[in-house]
Structure 1
């Protein structure tokens, strides 16, 4: 039964990430319900969903080639450094401490996912910042992404929008590339730190890849706003659950 839970949650996480994002709201709680400690569940979830972002970035390779306003190597470089630092901070966090802050991380990620598009649009209308500031903000986002990562796509899109990018496809491609690289460097740190539960990770990895492949078909039949509401509902439910169980 627990194996089925991991397969189903990872499959639909792959679907969500391909269409609307927010797949970690399914994989992270599923791993905890399967008995994986929270810190290890976070690391294992990252391993399970990481290939999808890079695959998506490959699909946007033509759009990525149109980016001229931002220096891609420096943007990726600062993201990798921040992602590695965030992953190391997670490994250095005591298990009990991480358990205590999990409900707050889920609350932040859920709120971010819920208000992200409107907040991003408002920021784009009211602010414009320089390249140096973008890199500084992206570094902080990358640290958060390496540590937990819920809602990181919204943060990256908002930063790119503030910088002045308007090509949504190119922005989504860069978001996927950065997220994939962040996940990759975080995975390397988690593997080196022995934080990954490999049996669960491999089961979910295969299911998430299948879900990501199916996501293109799902996108044709279910409007993204509907999927976003599902993600928000799941995130809110998990947040309440963890606040109650940790009380």
Structure 2
């Protein structure tokens, strides 16, 4: 029972983090590994468990979704679903160490871009005397790459999305948070379906169900809290989460 309580709390924390700024995987994955699951199985279980929490957050934000630059929301979501499924397939056939080795550097890069990307985009636009932004095709290609990463490992993929949109389109991190949550849910859904069908996720049903319940509570509560925070404070929370996750990930190994 004490172990299940800890897993439940880890699920709540992961759901809140994903709703506020990202990084829920960094809480859920170590918690499951600590209770005896292999890293690959824990990765799959955490992805499945976090799906309902991401969907709960997306539901809270359903009326606040705004398009990402020139892209269609439906097309962007379809790309996220496809990339998430591809990434999940890679997890089942490739060594987990491949993306794991690159993840700290990707996260560090995303954190820096998130911190300065919007200002840099504005500065470049001012210097050139015209707006600078990614084309719809470039946005979709970038989203597909991030969705593959999200389906495979998923650590801070939401932060990386905000970094891409901030630097490439000049979008505000706080204003883009609802769409980030929706795309995160899309990535998780397709990955979770494949994990349920083709992996050993269901070998730990009690851990899965406990973390799932916690993630739903955390995702719903975190989304409501994020909606009430001033935009400046929410941007600070997102950036602080990104920086903290970067440091923790480097310390992790």
SS in 2 for 1:64: coil
Shift of 1:137: 1.3
Rate the CA distance shift 1:107–1:185 in 2: closer, same or farther, 3 A.
same
Shift of 1:80: 1.6
1:186 matches 2:197: no
Written as runs of structure 1 = structure 2, the 5 A alignment for 1:96-111 is 97-98=95-96, 100-101=97-98, 104=101, 107-108=104-105, 110-111=107-108
Written as runs of structure 1 = structure 2, the 5 A alignment for 1:189-208 is 189-196=194-201, 197-208=204-215
**Any conservation in 2 of the 1:47–1:183 contact (CA below 8 Å)?**
yes
Stretch deviating more after TM superposition (34-43 or 71-80): 71-80
Aligned to 2:127: none
Written as runs of structure 1 = structure 2, the 5 A alignment for 1:74-223 is 74-93=75-94, 97-98=95-96, 100-101=97-98, 104=101, 107-108=104-105, 110-112=107-109, 114-122=111-119, 124-125=121-122, 126=124, 127-162=132-167, 164=169, 166=171, 171-196=176-201, 197-215=204-222
Aligned to 1:33: 34
Rate the CA distance shift 1:55–1:123 in 2: closer, same or farther, 3 A.
farther
Alignment length, in residue pairs?
Answer: 238
Q: Report the aligned-residue RMSD.
A: 3.1
TM-score (norm 2): 0.79
SS in 2 for 1:80: helix
Structure 2 gap ranges (5+): 125-131
TM-score (norm 1): 0.80
Structure 1 gap ranges (5+): none
1:240 matches 2:242: no
**Any conservation in 2 of the 1:120–1:154 contact (CA below 8 Å)?**
no
Shift of 1:32: 0.9
Cα distance in 1, alignment partners of residues 41 and 189 from structure 2: 16
